[in-house]
Amino acid sequence: MHYVSTRGTAPALGFADALLTGLARDGGLYAPVTLPQWGADTIRALAGLPYARAAATLMSGFVGDDIPASALETMTAAAYAEFRHAATAPLVQIEPNLFALELFHGPTLAFKDFAMQWLARAMDRVLAERGERTTILGATSGDTGAAAIEAFGGLARADIFILYPHGRVSDVQRRQMTTVGKPNVHALAIDGTFDDCQRIVKTLFGDLAFRDAMRLSGVNSINWARILAQIVYYFVAAVALGAPGRAVSFAVPTGNFGDILAGYYARRMGLPIERLIIATNENDILARTLATGRYEPRGVKATQSPSMDIEVSSNFERLLFEASGQDPEAVTRMMGDFAADGWFAIPPAALERIRADFGAERIDETECAAEMTRVWRDCGLVIDPHSAVGVGAARRALAASPATPIVALGTAHPAKFPDAVERATGVRPALPPHLADLMDRPERHVALPNDPAAVAGYLRQRARAPA
C-alpha cells in the first residue's frame, strides 16, 4: 500500500513512513493511491465481531507488512480495552430510522480516542523498531489535544506540544490538557483561533530545516493513520443496522473534515452508505462551499460547539484530491489560490462529484440548543452540543429520505460541555469517575502569541534532543 501527497511533489511513502511523517513535505496530505475493496461477504463477516477485532481486520489492508497482523491485533485490543462501554461504539435509537453512534466512551470522552489510542501504539512501535524519537506538534480546538496528551503522555520516545486557542475551549477540555503533569507534555495556549493554531503547525512543518532538526510528527487528522482508524466505526455501525443488505446514511458533526472523510473512504471501499451529511454549526463554510463551489472563510464565530469552530478544514484537501481524480496539480492550484487570495473555486466536475456523495446542513445556535432539549425530553438522553448538531442535521436528511436509516455521530460526552448542556436540558452532566477530580487538579500551561517563531523558539528550548 502506497501513499501519495495531494500536492504531488513529496515522495510516495509506505504506511510506517506516512505514519511518522504527518504532513507531506510539499505541504500536502498523504492519501492512499488505491483502496482495499470490501465485498458483501467480507462486510457481512464483520457482524458480531468485537470492535478491536473488526478494527484490526479493516486496518490490515492499509498497513501492509509494516505492522504484522498479530501485532496489529494486540495493538487494537489494547487501544480499545480502556473504553467504558462493552460495545465500544454503541448505537442508540432516537426515533424510527434515526440513531446516534456514541463515540465518547474512551478515556478523554470524545471520538478522537478511537484513532489516538491506536496511533500512539503504532507510532511507538515504529519508533522503537527504528531506534528514533519524535517531537509531536499538534493543534486542537479541544478534543484532539486531550486525546493526544492522554495517548502519548509518558511515552519515552515522544515529546508532545499541543497548541490550543486561548479562551476558546471548554474548562473540561482545557483541564484535560493542562493537568497531566507528565514531563513530555506541553499544552500551549495561543492567542488566536483554532485556525491560527493549525496555521502555525503547518508553517512549522513547512520549515524543512526546523522540521528535520526537531523530527516533527503530526497527530492531527493530517496524519492518514487518524483517518484510517476512524473508517472502522462506519463499518461497524452500518453492519449493525443491516449492511451490506441495507444502505445507511451518516450525519457527521464537522470541523476539520477528518471524521466525515473517513466515512467517504468507507463508502469508496464498498460500504453501502447512501448519503454523508456534513453537519456544521454557524461556522458553515462547508455548507456554503457545497452550495456555491467557492471555499471562502468569513471569520470564525465562537459557538456552544467550540470544537467545530473551524474555517480552514484541513481534510477538505484530501476530498479535493479524490474529486479531481487524484490530480495533484488541480489541488496545488486551489491551495495556491487560497494562500494568495483567501478563497478558491472548485472546478465544476469536481464539485459535481462532491455533491453526489455529500449533503450539508447548518444547525444554528438556537437549533442546537433545541435539539439537546428535544432529545432529552423525548428519549431521556443527554447529548452534547456537537452531537446535537449531528442529530439536527440527521433529522433534516431523514425528512428528505425517510426510508434510509441515518446515524448521527455522537462525537463528545455531554460532561465536556456542562454549561451548554445544562442550559438546554436543566441537567448538569457529571464527569465519569476517572475524571471526577479533574476540576481540582493543578494546571500547568504556557501562553504564547499567535506567531510561528514564538512556538518554534519554545519547542527548541523544551523538546528533548531527538535521537
Ligand X SMILES: Cc1ncc(COP(=O)(O)O)c(C=O)c1O
Ligand Y SMILES: N[C@@H](CCOP(=O)(O)O)C(=O)O
Catalytically active residues are: 112
What the block records as the C-alpha cell of 349 is 466536475
Residue 307 is a binding residue for ligand X (CB under 6 A): yes
- Which of 88, 134, 220, 249 is in the footprint of ligand Y by CB under 6 A? 220
Residue 140 binding result from ligand Y, ligand X, none, given CB thresholds of 5 to 8 Å by partner type? ligand Y
Residue 221 is a binding residue for ligand Y (CB under 6 A): yes
Alpha-carbon distance 314 to 310, whole Å?
10
Using CB under 6 A, which of the segments 73-81, 114-122, 157-165, 251-259 binds ligand X?
251-259
Alpha-carbon distance 32 to 68, whole Å?
19
Number of amino acids touching ligand X (CB under 6 A): 16
3 state SS of 412: strand
What the block records as the C-alpha cell of 313 is 478544514
* Contacts with ligand Y, 240-279, as mask; x by CB under 6 A: ---------------xx-x---------------------
Number of amino acids touching ligand Y (CB under 6 A): 13
Task: Closer to ligand X by CB, 270 or 390: give it.
Answer: 390
Task: Closer to ligand X by CB, 72 or 190: give it.
Answer: 190
Residue 411 is a binding residue for ligand X (CB under 6 A): yes
Residue 452: cis peptide before it, omega within 30 degrees of 0: no
CA atoms within 13 A on the CB side of 241: 29
Using CB under 6 A, which of the segments 61-69, 237-245, 249-257, 444-452 binds ligand X?
249-257
Amino acid at site 47:
A
- Which of 22, 138, 255, 405 is in the footprint of ligand X by CB under 6 A? 255
Cα dihedral 296→299→305→308 (10° resolution): 40
Residue 282 binding result from ligand Y, ligand X, none, given CB thresholds of 5 to 8 Å by partner type? none
Using CB under 6 A, which of the segments 84-92, 140-148, 264-272, 323-331 binds ligand Y?
140-148
311 φ/ψ angles, rounded to the nearest 5 degrees = -120, -20
Using CB under 6 A, which of the segments 127-135, 138-146, 175-183, 425-433 binds ligand Y?
138-146
Residue 367 is a binding residue for ligand X (CB under 6 A): no
Amino acid at site 186:
H
- For the chain, what is the total number of helices (H) and then of strands (E)? 19, 15
Distant-in-sequence contacts of 450-454, Cβ < 8 A, 24+ apart: 450/190, 450/191, 450/192, 450/196, 450/200, 451/200, 452/199, 452/200, 452/203, 452/204, 452/207
* Contacts with ligand X, 96-125, as mask; x by CB under 6 A: --------------x---------------
Residue 314 binding result from ligand X, ligand Y, none, given CB thresholds of 5 to 8 Å by partner type? ligand Y
What the block records as the C-alpha cell of 287 is 455548507
Task: Closer to ligand Y by CB, 43 or 169: give it.
Answer: 169
CA angle 57, 61, 62 (to 5 degrees): 115
Task: Closer to ligand X by CB, 229 or 241: give it.
Answer: 229
Nearest distance, CB of residue 253 and ligand Y, angstroms: 9
Contacts of 59 (CB under 8 A, 6+ apart): 72, 76, 228, 229, 232
Residue 253 binding result from ligand X, ligand Y, none, given CB thresholds of 5 to 8 Å by partner type? ligand X
132 φ/ψ angles, rounded to the nearest 5 degrees = -115, 165
Under rule CB under 6 A, which residues in 202-241 are in contact with ligand X?
Answer: 221
- Which of 308, 323, 393, 455 is in the footprint of ligand X by CB under 6 A? 308
- Cell 515522544 sits on residue: 158
Task: Closer to ligand X by CB, 80 or 164: give it.
Answer: 164
Residue 392 is a binding residue for ligand X (CB under 6 A): no
Alpha-carbon distance 409 to 91, whole Å?
9
Nearest distance, CB of residue 334 and ligand X, angstroms: 19
Task: Closer to ligand Y by CB, 173 or 404: give it.
Answer: 173
Residue 220 binding result from ligand Y, ligand X, none, given CB thresholds of 5 to 8 Å by partner type? ligand Y
Residues 142 and 307: beta-carbon distance below 8 Å:
yes
Three-state secondary structure readout of 364-404:
CHHHHHHHHHHHHHHHCCCCCHHHHHHHHHHHHHHHHCCCC
Residues 219 and 144: beta-carbon distance below 8 Å:
yes
Residue 201 binding result from ligand Y, ligand X, none, given CB thresholds of 5 to 8 Å by partner type? none
Residue 307 is a binding residue for ligand Y (CB under 6 A): yes
Contact positions vs ligand X (CB under 6 A): 110, 141, 143, 221, 253-259, 307-308, 386, 411-412
Contact residues for ligand Y, defined by CB under 6 A:
140-145, 220-221, 255-256, 258, 307, 314
